[in-house]
Structure formats: structure tokens, C-alpha cells
């Protein structure tokens, strides 16, 4: 488990360093994800070593948003008078974006015959 | 014997109590989620957040004290994002064959999210500075905060809007996609990751591994797409 965690942290660290050094519009962890994908391509054996830790982390991914969520509750006042219009905008735009994105994906996949 | 008040004042200042409380609240939320047959409306994050916010309010505990314990959980968001490389790698064959639908759905989903959010908010009388905070709300939090700052928005407000968007996406995706009759796990996951970042991805992983892989991909790609699209679309509304 420790080697697997070390690999995760190293990828994140490399991602953070690259994001800052190259002034990329991407957060370090997202770059770290791309770095780990590249590492998996170079060393396919890595997958089996990472698997147990990955399942533990990704199986509980929702938990990791709880501290930020609690912080948000304290800042709901920052919405101010715009609270209701903003909630309407968030609900409307999220539903539309998921719907349009999924319908577009499925339609293009069907048209181009991209197999599942 | 030490009184309860003294023990409380000792424990409530250290990280142990609030780390334990975070895990306990999530355990309650997750148990409720399972008891409800994994219904998306019974969102474990929402339940845990409501419980903890209630406890903090009742005990008069400031968020900074709470976060000293909760930071250990919060920190894992970074490594967890890196971990999304594994489902992505396992689905690499599917991803490579879906390059065109991925590209088109990314643009469609990302532009729809920003344009509709700004149109609804402006139509309801929301002012310019708040629109700048709203524009990047579908991107993963660190990216969204950076974009908001560059556009003259408020990062604090953006953080609230990003997390709320994620919860809305996690709760609404399954019933919405069922109603639309979308059965392709790639399409379902990808659209959810694009619209609702990590929280949407967490939900997709609960539903299907292929949906989870495409959601992680959607979140990563939309971090880049939002950085490019949000400033342009915001310009149309000013």
C-alpha cells in the first residue's frame, strides 16, 4: 500500500510542479492523473499494484468532498439576495449540460458507429 | 474526575474529534444511501454536510477549528484525482474508440453549462461580478477558483457555486438520464463529469465502472475547456 501511495503522491507532486513551472491552466492533481496514465502505459504491471489502494480511495470518493461542503454551508450567506436566482441558474444549467452532453455523445457515437 | 466541559474543551480544539465526526457523519450518510437502495436523491455527501453543519452550529465551533481535523480527509482529494488514471486506463480501448463523441460532447456540454447558467442568472437580475463567479462553476474546484479570480469574480462565491453544482449533478444525473432514455454508460458518465466535476464522477463510479472512467475523463477535459470557454462566453453577457 505504501509504494502505491508513494506513486500517487509523486504523480501529484510532479503535476503540481509542472503546472506551476509551465503556468498551465490545469490543477496539479489533474496533470498528475495524466502523468499516472502515461506511467501505466509505460509500465502496465503498475496497474495490479495500484488496484487495491485505488479501489479503497475511489469507492469512497464522495467522502472527500464533505469538508469542503461543510465550508460551503458557512458561506451560503455569500449568495446574498442573488441566492434564489443563482440556485435556479445552477439547477437549470446543470440539468441542461448533463442532458445536452449525454444526448450529443450518444448521437455522435451512433452516427460515427463508434463501438461500445 | 474531569468534568465533561473540560474534556469537551480539550477535544473540540484538536483534530481527532472533528476527523472522527467527519467519518461518522459520512458513515451515517452512506448507511442512509444504502438503506434507500442507492437512490441518488439520498446523497451521502449532502447528509454528512447537513449533520456536520448542524453540529458546528449547535456547539458554536468555528469552521477553522473543524477543518483542522477535516483537512486530512480534504487533502486526499488530490491523490484521489490522480487515482482516476486507473479507471481511465482500464477503459483506454473504449476511450480511444470514442474520441469523436468525446470531443463533440465536451464542447456541447461545456458551452451549454456556461451559457445556460449565465443566461438564467442574468435573466433573473444577477449582476456582472456575480456572473464572473458563476461562469466556471462546472469545472473542478481549483481550476474554477483560478478562472473566477482572473475574470474578476469572487473565489469564495465560486467555491460555493462549484460544490452546489456538483451536488445537483450527483443527485439529478441518474433520473435525468433515465428519463432521456440514454443507456450508453460512456455518454452518461462523460456528460456527468463534464457538468458536475468530481462529485458527478463520484456518483458515476457508484453506478458503473465505465461511467466512472468517462466521468473522470470528462472532468479533466472540462477543466481545460472551461478555462478557454468561460472568458469568451462571459464576454457575450457583459
Task: Let me know whether A92 and A52 are in one domain.
Answer: no
Task: Give the domain ranges of chain B.
Answer: 4-75, 83-236
Backbone CA torsion sign across B223, A17, A53, A43: positive
Among B144, B151, B175, B152, which residue's Cα sits nearest to residue A68?
B144
CB A75 within 8 A of CB B158: no
**pLDDT computed for residue A94 by the predictor:** 97
User: What integer pLDDT is reported at residue B91 of this predicted model?
Assistant: 86
pLDDT in tens, A28-78: 888 999 999 999 999 989 999 999 999 999 888 899 999 989 988 888 877
Chain B residue with minimal CA distance to A106? B187
The pTM of this model reads 0.88
Across the interface, do B85 and A106 touch by the CB < 8 Å criterion?
A: no
At B173 the pLDDT is 96
Residue A110 covered by a domain: yes
Residue A39 maps to a domain: yes
Task: Map residue A25 onto helix, strand or coil.
Answer: coil
* Range A90-107 average pLDDT: 97
B84 to chain A, minimum CA–CA distance in Å? Answer: 6
Nearest CA in chain B to A54: B83
Mean predicted confidence (pLDDT) in B220-225:
90
Q: Does the CA dihedral B156-B159-B164-B165 come out positive or negative?
A: positive
Taking residues B135-159, report their average pLDDT: 89
Does A50 lie in the same domain as A88? no
Range of the domain at A11: 1-63
Between vectors from CA A37 to CA A35 and to CA A41, what angle results, nearest 5°? Answer: 115
Mean pLDDT across B187-203: 95
Report the residue from A51, A62, A114 with minimal CB separation from B45. Answer: A62
Q: Which residues 6+ apart lie within 8 Å of A15 measured at CB?
A: A27, A28, A29, A30, A31, A32, A33, A34, A35, B82
| Minimal Cβ distance to A37: which of B88, B97, B134 | B88
pLDDT tier for residue A114 given thresholds of 50, 70 and 90: low
Same domain, A34 and A89: no
Q: Is A72 domain-assigned?
A: no
Q: Which cell goes with A49?
A: 499494484
Residue A69 lies in a domain: no
The verdict on A46 and A89 lying in the same domain is no
Share of residues in chain B with pLDDT > 90 (%) = 72
Cα gap A115→B20, rounded to integer Å? 46
Percent of chain A surpassing pLDDT 90: 65
- B122 pLDDT band, cuts 50/70/90, is very high
Nearest CA in chain B to A6: B79
Task: Say if A91 falls within a structural domain.
Answer: yes
Q: Does residue A113 share a domain with residue A57?
A: no
A4 and A51 co-located in one domain: yes
CB contact under 8 A, A69 and B120: no
Residue B77 has pLDDT above 70, yes or no: yes
Cα separation of A3 and A9, whole Å?
10
Q: What angle do CA B156, B161, B166 make, to 5 degrees?
A: 130
Q: Are A105 and B187 in contact (CB under 8 A)?
A: yes
User: Which one-letter DSSP state was computed for residue A60?
Assistant: T
Exposure string over A57-95, b if 16+ CB within 10 A, otherwise e: bbebbbbbbbbbbbbbbeeeebbeebeebbbbbbbbbbb
A59 shares its domain with A91: no
Confidence of residue B88 (pLDDT cuts 50, 70, 90): confident
In a domain, A75, yes or no: no
The whole-number pLDDT of residue A72 equals 87
The pLDDT mean for chain B works out to 92
And the C-alpha cell for A108?
455522435
pLDDT of residue B1: 62
Three cell numbers at B214? 468517462
Please write the tens of the pLDDT for every residue from B25-49: 999 999 999 999 988 889 999 999 9
pLDDT score, position B44: 92
Residues near B136 by beta carbon (within 8 Å), at least 6 away in sequence: B114, B143, B144, B147, B148, B151, B153, B158, B162, B226, B227, B230
pLDDT in tens, B158-183: 989 999 999 999 999 999 999 999 99
Could you tell me if A17 and A56 lie in one domain? yes
Amino acid at each position: 500500500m505504501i509504494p502505491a501511495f508513494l506513486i500517487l503522491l509523486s504523480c501529484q507532486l510532479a503535476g503540481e510542479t509542472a503546472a506551476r513551472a509551465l503556468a498551465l491552466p490545469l490543477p496539479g492533481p489533474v496533470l498528475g492523473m495524466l502523468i499516472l496514465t502515461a506511467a501505466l502505459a509505460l509500465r502496465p504491471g503498475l496497474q495490479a499494484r495500484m488496484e487495491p489502494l485505488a479501489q479503497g480511495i475511489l469507492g469512497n470518493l464522495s467522502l472527500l468532498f464533505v469538508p469542503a461542503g461543510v465550508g460551503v454551508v458557512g458561506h451560503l450567506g455569500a449568495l446574498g439576495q442573488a441566492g434564489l436566482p443563482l440556485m435556479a441558474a445552477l439547477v437549470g444549467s446543470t440539468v441542461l449540460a448533463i442532458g445536452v452532453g449525454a444526448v450529443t455523445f450518444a448521437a455522435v457515437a451512433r452516427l460515427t458507429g463508434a463501438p461500445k | 474526575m474531569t468534568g465533561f466541559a473540560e474534556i469537551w474543551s480539550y477535544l473540540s480544539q484538536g483534530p481527532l474529534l472533528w476527523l472522527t465526526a467527519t467519518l461518522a457523519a459520512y458513515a451515517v450518510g452512506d448507511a442512509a444511501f444504502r438503506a434507500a437502495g442507492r437512490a441518488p436523491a439520498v446523497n451521502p455527501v449532502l447528509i454528512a454536510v447537513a449533520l456536520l453543519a448542524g453540529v458546528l452550529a449547535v456547539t458554536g465551533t468555528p469552521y477553522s477549528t473543524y477543518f483542522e481535523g477535516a483537512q486530512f480527509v480534504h487533502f486526499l482529494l488530490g491523490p484521489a484525482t490522480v487515482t482516476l488514471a486507473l479507471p481511465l486506463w482500464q477503459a483506454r480501448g473504449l476511450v480511444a474508440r470514442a474520441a469523436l463523441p468525446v470531443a463533440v460532447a465536451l464542447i456541447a456540454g461545456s458551452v451549454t453549462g456556461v451559457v445556460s447558467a449565465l443566461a438564467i442568472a442574468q435573466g433573473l437580475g444577477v449582476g456582472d461580478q456575480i456572473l464572473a463567479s458563476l461562469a466556471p462553476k462546472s469545472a473542478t474546484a481549483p481550476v474554477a477558483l483560478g478562472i473566477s479570480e482572473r475574470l474578476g469574480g469572487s473565489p469564495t462565491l465560486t467555491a460555493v457555486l462549484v460544490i452546489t453544482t456538483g451536488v445537483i449533478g450527483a443527485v439529478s444525473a441518474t433520473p435525468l438520464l433515465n428519463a432521456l432514455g440514454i443507456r450508453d454508460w460512456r455518454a452518461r458518465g462523460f456528460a456527468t463529469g463534464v457538468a458536475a466535476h468530481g462529485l458527478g464522477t463520484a456518483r458515476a463510479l457508484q453506478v458503473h465502472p465505465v461511467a466512472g472512467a468517462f466521468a473522470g475523463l470528462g472532468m479533466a477535459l472540462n477543466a481545460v475547456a472551461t478555462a478557454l470557454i468561460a472568458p469568451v462566453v462571459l464576454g457575450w453577457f457583459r
